[in-house]
Structure 1
Amino acid sequence: MADYAVVELGGRQYRVSPGDLITVERIAANVGDEVPVERVLMVRQGERTIVGRPTVEGARATARVVEHGRGRKVLVFKYKPKVNYRRRRGHRQPFTRLEIRSIEGPAT
């Protein structure tokens, strides 16, 4: 069992420990499903740090889907002076919240 790891999900990197809650881009999984995280970039086990090139061979993390949702609304407003051009548009980014269950380091 590792102390913490750096994992990549959806093109972003997260420093995670067992029990952490992280918010990532929406993934196609149901609430309660176990999701394997294969792209582990770094693992810290006690006094030992293992850095991957680019990933650590044999290391993996397991996460559980806690919820799906949508973020806060971001308003986009376009405006051109003197020509009566105004456009207002809103956007809410979908997300998935994950709970990190376990991190396994490489077997050495």
Structure 2
Amino acid sequence: MSTYAIIETGGQQLRVEPGRFYNIRHFASLTSNHLEQNTKILIYRVLMIRRKSKIDMGHPWLKDAVVKGRILHPCLEKKITIYKMISKKKMQRKLGHRQKSIRFVVDSISINGEEIYK
């Protein structure tokens, strides 16, 4: 697609397109009881929007730019295994955890009140 936006959320920057879904580690503005299915979300930290050949860049974010979406479901990432060993001290430790994430779909990208792509 020729229309996309670069957003900042969950401590990372993502290139998002309307109609696609993405996994985000956490939304800082939502608590765990608001993370239900079909919860509408608005992301205001939009760094850049590209539509066909026109590019709008923010410094650091674009004013009046919003990425609208909804939560599909909360999920868990792949398991991360941490293995620590110190030789000659006979110390071994194996730990692991699964990071919580949220899968959401981007419905539309808008700037200055007009929707670029629905």
Q: TM-score, normalised by structure 2?
A: 0.81
Q: 2:77 matched to 1:71?
A: yes
Q: Give the structure 2 partner of residue 31 of structure 1.
A: 37
Q: For 1:97, which of 86, 89, 103 is the aligned residue? A: 103
Which amino acid in the other structure matches residue 11 of structure 1?
G
List per-residue Cα deviations over 1:71-90 (Å, max 9, x = no partner): 11111111122333111111
Separation in structure 1 between the aligned mates of residue 17 and residue 69 of structure 2, nearest angstrom: 11
| Paired positions, count | 107
Higher relative contact order (CA 8 A, sep 6+): 1
Work out whether residues 45 and 105 of structure 1, in 8 Å CA contact, stay in contact via their aligned partners in 2: no
Higher strand share: 2
Which amino acid in the other structure matches residue 54 of structure 1?
P
SS in 2 for 1:82: coil
* Identity fraction in percent: 28
**Unpaired stretches in structure 2, ≥5 consecutive residues:** none
List per-residue Cα deviations over 1:34-85 (Å, max 9, x = no partner): 0100111111223321101111111101111011111111111111223331
